[in-house]
């Protein structure tokens, strides 16, 4: 298959993942927690490793544009989470060491943990108050620590493992942004005021 055919295949699989794999009630609970955090000025921390981390950071950027008090876990300016704050953790396998560790600490201090994962019974899933199951991760990586795999030069194939999860999660989170805009009555012009001006 050439790149165009692969892209069409991926689009079909993303549609299938979201259409038949994501449960509406999980999404509703996720959005409800975000709205409560917004109204109560709670901190939302996002965490993920590798491409899942990039998806999480992309969502954090949009939440910032919406006026949420949001930070990326591991960055130098990120404040500590407290009881009642929210941690959003993105991990296809639900076993990535850094992400699971962050969720464990958040749970211990009384923050609400939301996970987006393909494996609801994973360690991350067990720590979560709300699990949004996003299909696409067809197999767990052999080594559960993303950073260890990178240091050892172990890279995963394109579509079979994490790619469909990451793409599906990115689309789903962008849809959540639009829902938040509608619920909170935030217009694109309002978001533009927070958009980067130094480029």
Active site residues: 166
Q: Which of 74, 187, 94, 76 is nearest to 140 (CA)?
A: 94
As to burial, measured by CB atoms within 10 angstroms (0-12 exposed, 13-18 middle, 19+ buried), residue 20 is exposed
Bridge-based pairing state of the strands 86-90 and 69-72: unpaired
- Chain-centroid distance of CA 33 in Å reads 14
Q: How far apart are CA 19 and CA 31, in angstroms?
A: 18
């Amino acid at each position: 298959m050439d790149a165009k055919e692969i892209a069409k295949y991926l689009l079909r699989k993303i549609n299938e993942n979201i259409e038949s794999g994501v449960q509406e009630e999980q999404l509703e609970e996720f959005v409800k927690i975000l709205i409560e955090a917004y109204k109560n000025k709670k901190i939302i921390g996002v965490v993920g490793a590798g491409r899942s981390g990039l998806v999480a950071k992309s969502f954090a950027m949009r939440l910032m544009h919406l006026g949420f008090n949001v930070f990326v876990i591991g960055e130098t300016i990120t404040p500590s989470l407290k009881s009642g704050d929210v941690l959003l953790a993105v991990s296809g396998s639900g076993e990535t060491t850094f992400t699971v560790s962050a969720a464990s600490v958040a749970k211990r201090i009384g923050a609400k943990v939301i996970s987006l994962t393909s494996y609801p019974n994973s360690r991350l899933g067990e720590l979560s108050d709300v699990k949004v199951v996003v299909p696409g991760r067809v197999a767990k990586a052999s080594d559960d620590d993303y950073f260890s795999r990178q240091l050892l030069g172990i890279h995963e194939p394109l579509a079979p493992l994490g790619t469909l999860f990451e793409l599906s999660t990115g689309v789903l989170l962008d849809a959540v942004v639009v829902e938040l805009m509608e619920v909170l009555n935030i217009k694109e012009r309002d978001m533009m005021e927070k958009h980067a001006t130094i480029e």
